[in-house]
Structure 1
Amino acid sequence: MASTPQTANYGAISATPVYVDDPQPAYSGSSVVAASPCSRCRRITSTGHSESTTSNFTRAEAELVPKFIAAQVSDEELRLISQKQGPGVAAYYEQQNELIAALLGVNQQHTDDVLEQQSEYRRLRQRQVDRAVRVSVAVNVLVVLAQLYAAVSSESLALFATMSEASMDLLSSIILLLASAAARRNDRFSLYPSGRYKLETIGVIVFAVLMGTFSVALLVESVIALVSADSMPNNLSLYDALCVIGALLAKVVLFWYCYTLREYNAAHVLMTDHRNDVVVNAFGLTMAVVGKHMMPWMDPLGSLIIALVILRSWVHEAWDQIKLIVGIRADPQLLQVLTFTALTHDARIEKVDRVVAYHSGAKLFVEVDIVMPPETPLVVLHDVAEALQEKYERMPGVGRCHVHVDYEVTHRPEHQNAAA
């Protein structure tokens, strides 16, 4: 199956590409940080040469910015709306405020020092993600050893399920670590000129398949133990329980750390994994205790439930990653930000003809068609389009952008064989 990329075809749009009162949920500015225009954006002088300029306040921006500011809802107004019209209506206006904030920040002027600070911030966050992956590997080794001791010592099927799940977690961390290292290798003369960032998505899919296979095997073992007539209490001891509790606390700390980095794909997968481990370990220990002191059949029942939870979680995760690598469209709210960015990028852009944004793995591929006057010199067309491309590619989550320049919007749609 193939996903249709989200497309905005605005034709003769000149000043109103974004409808703030659209009842769709607004785009959160936390996911896409508004990028500043390139400080090297150029204009043609009377001598025919291009020179740098940082002033770029377009007519469309001058018309729209006051309307956006007037449409913002204050915190006090949000509180009154929540009381009179309900929290759902207030949440809509709060999301609209976030969209307006993202749009207002699109063309804020930044100095080179600020741009360097933003670049340094992204490098810092990436190092934190790499650290999260490495720490997860180290902690998972200790967790597997602790839970292996508890499972073998107690002979509890529920604890064996948590130990097996922890073993697969260790494998997942290693897969993500290798995929992340391979994705950072970007040799322009290699076989992969666009980069290897899709390896991370493929690694998650491979791991999800392994987890699904493991869950099915665990389901079979649990059913066999449940239907057997000689269910005996397990041998859970205090030391076994302490091992599981220690693993549980370690997973809580890792979940919190990865949660702070959840906008990155690898950290988001680890966050989901650690969250599931917290639930699984707590539930597995509870069922093992109940199985020993009250009802022996609760132990294999706990193993069965854990296997079902693991299977459901990773089937959902695999489907999400498959949609990314197939090319699912970007959020409509992000499309609004992208369109507004193009429209207000340069005063010489007359119209925004088309905006396409879709996933290529964890990152986005953006394609924008803009319209400029036919008499515009080639050097201006090049500099305006290149600056817009750089602006998009500085946005977090955007892997590649193509900007096409045209002089009219009456031609037939391009790329007729795109679905072939």
Structure 2
Amino acid sequence: MILGNEPHSSVNHGHVRRPSITALQNPHMRYMRLIGNNNPRYQWERYRKTPLELKQMKKKIREYYERTNSLIDRYIYIDSLLDSTLPRDLLQTYNPVSPETIPETYPVSSSDTNPHQGYDSIPDAPPPPMKKRPSYLYKIADEESPLLGDEVGGGGSGSAENTAKVVKLAIYLSLLANTLLLISKILVAIMTNSLSVLASLVDAALDFLSTAIVWTTTTLIERRDKYLYPVGRSRLEPIGVLVFSIIMIVSFLQVGLTSLKHLITPATHAIVLLTPSAIIIMLSTIVIKTLCFLWCRSVRNSSVQALAADAVTDVVFNFFSILFPLLGTWLELWWLDALGGALLSAYVITSWAGIGLEHVENLTGAAASGDERNVLLYMAMRFAKSIKAITSVNAYRNGDLLNVEVDIVLDERLGLKDSHDLGESLQYVIESLGVVDRAFVHLDYDSTNPPGHLR
């Protein structure tokens, strides 16, 4: 009797299991099982200081709370990102229907003679899953989704396509402005023997060179070759800025030495006169460079930001290039013009040395700031309820952007499919941040296992 009941019992058990397996494969149920209902854990606005409160604080205390307000903005953005449809949409790009459950959901007709035809033999079978592309996934047509381009503190600037167009336009406008200014300053240098104007001419020539370098690096970056450069050539931008900063420093060292030579050589003690046309050209340079700065500073790109910094240098440079010769003429002091050339050279050398050192740190893999790591840790902590522990969060510079490595602990009973989809979804969400270039998520089952790499 017992043996005779076993087949019957097995059939009844199969009838009971089929609906439950199908229900578990429901995309919403899978999302809730792996990620859960991620409501914000903290009321961040409680800790924000108002502008009036900040104004009444002492400088050191005010700086501390300004940093706190900036962190609050980032945490609120992470909350809005994780509570949006992005994590759910990422999980839904993976095929939630396993081969074992296909006959239960999509029964094969008795007229089918070949049971191994796969999806073609299933009436109304779903299409194959869409290939996962982050550029597509992040364009979420949902009013609840945050605007990635408006990310607070994240460095995002809209889609990659729009950013590339803006960068290219900024480079072309800068190239046109620098070409016109170079021609005008050559004319000024011919009309006068001022060392301050000579320093300004050298600066204009280097501006033209800097724009050419930026244009070259941008063009090379756009030409992708996944075999020679699997992750792209985005680091050409900071390399180009570093090369240009070295050229600037070397060039103005020479200008500074020439100015010092005029100060100590008696034969060159003559007052320099600026003609009205020369003054007009120099003033027009200040106006054009101010407009270039206002345009370039809004573009979040290292090369364009370098052009913005160079535009600020030009505004200061050209202002004092006019001021020193004019004061020397009015006060009849011959040494003011040479002194102006030396001081302007020292200013440029100091400014570009700082920019060059910053890019050296970024290119050599400097660690991310503490605030950046805190934001990344908070994102990993809040992402999914299936994450039992976070053993390591490591972020370091890869040029302008960050490489992020996260080690998370999952339940060892969680299947390979769910573990993979959860880890890769976390990777894509981290990479949606504007400051992140690439993210790597390592899955573990025990928090006592050593995290990291061999070296």
Q: TM-score, normalised by structure 2?
A: 0.75
Greater relative contact order, per chain length (Cα 8 Å cut-off, separation 6+): 1
Give the number of the structure whose residues are more often helix, by fraction. Answer: 2
- Over 3 Å counting, the alpha-carbon distance change for 1:349 and 1:81 in structure 2 is same
Aligned to 2:27: 51
Aligned to 1:65: 42
Aligned to 1:37: none
CA distance in 1 between partners of 2:188 and 2:373 (Å): 51
1:187-206 to structure 2, matched below 5 A, reads 187-188=225-226, 190-206=227-243
Contact 1:82–1:89, Cα closer than 8 Å, also in 2: no
- Over 3 Å counting, the alpha-carbon distance change for 1:242 and 1:63 in structure 2 is closer
CA distance in 2 between partners of 1:206 and 1:383 (Å): 42
Find the residue that maps to 1:105 and give its secondary structure.
Answer: helix
**Is 1:362 aligned to residue 415 of structure 2?**
no
Q: Percent identity?
A: 25
Find the residue that maps to 1:46 and give its secondary structure.
Answer: helix
CA distance in 2 between partners of 1:371 and 1:133 (Å): 46
Aligned to 1:158: 196
1:32-43 to structure 2, matched below 5 A, reads none
Contact 1:60–1:343, Cα closer than 8 Å, also in 2: no
Aligned to 1:320: 358
CA distance in 2 between partners of 1:369 and 1:195 (Å): 25
Contact 1:211–1:314, Cα closer than 8 Å, also in 2: yes
Aligned to 2:254: 217
**Is 1:297 aligned to residue 312 of structure 2?**
no
Contact 2:282–2:318, Cα closer than 8 Å, also in 1: yes
Picking from 70, 75, 81, the partner of 1:98 is 70
Aligned to 1:405: 443
| Deviations, residues 144-178 of structure 1 (Å, cap 9, x unaligned) | 11111111111111101101111001101110111
Aligned to 2:317: 280
Aligned to 1:38: none
- Over 3 Å counting, the alpha-carbon distance change for 1:319 and 1:402 in structure 2 is same
Picking from 127, 141, 162, the partner of 1:113 is 141
**Is 1:185 aligned to residue 228 of structure 2?**
no
Contact 1:290–1:296, Cα closer than 8 Å, also in 2: no
Contact 2:392–2:451, Cα closer than 8 Å, also in 1: no
CA distance in 1 between partners of 2:236 and 2:189 (Å): 34
Aligned to 1:269: 306
Between 45-54 and 119-128, report the one with greater CA deviation: 45-54
Find the residue that maps to 2:41 and give its secondary structure.
Answer: helix
Picking from 244, 266, 273, the partner of 1:229 is 266
In structure 2, stretches of 5+ residues that fail to align are 1-19, 87-139, 150-156
Deviation at 1:346, TM superposition (A): 1.2
Deviation at 1:357, TM superposition (A): 0.5
Aligned to 1:79: 52
Q: TM-score, normalised by structure 1?
A: 0.81
CA distance in 2 between partners of 1:184 and 1:116 (Å): 28
| Deviations, residues 184-221 of structure 1 (Å, cap 9, x unaligned) | 22222x31101101111111111111111101111221
| Deviations, residues 274-304 of structure 1 (Å, cap 9, x unaligned) | 0011001000111121233421221111111
Number of residue pairs aligned between Structure 1 and Structure 2: 366
CA distance in 1 between partners of 2:167 and 2:341 (Å): 32
Find the residue that maps to 1:121 and give its secondary structure.
Answer: coil
Find the residue that maps to 2:404 and give its secondary structure.
Answer: strand
Deviation at 1:117, TM superposition (A): 6.6
Contact 1:56–1:345, Cα closer than 8 Å, also in 2: no
- Over 3 Å counting, the alpha-carbon distance change for 1:311 and 1:74 in structure 2 is closer
Task: Give the partner amino acid of 1:196.
Answer: R
CA distance in 1 between partners of 2:34 and 2:42 (Å): 10
Contact 1:219–1:308, Cα closer than 8 Å, also in 2: yes
- Over 3 Å counting, the alpha-carbon distance change for 1:79 and 1:91 in structure 2 is farther
**Dislocated runs of 4+, deviation >4 Å:** 47-50, 52-63, 114-120
Q: Decide which structure has the larger Cα Rg and report it.
A: 2
CA distance in 2 between partners of 1:80 and 1:360 (Å): 38
Contact 2:39–2:83, Cα closer than 8 Å, also in 1: no
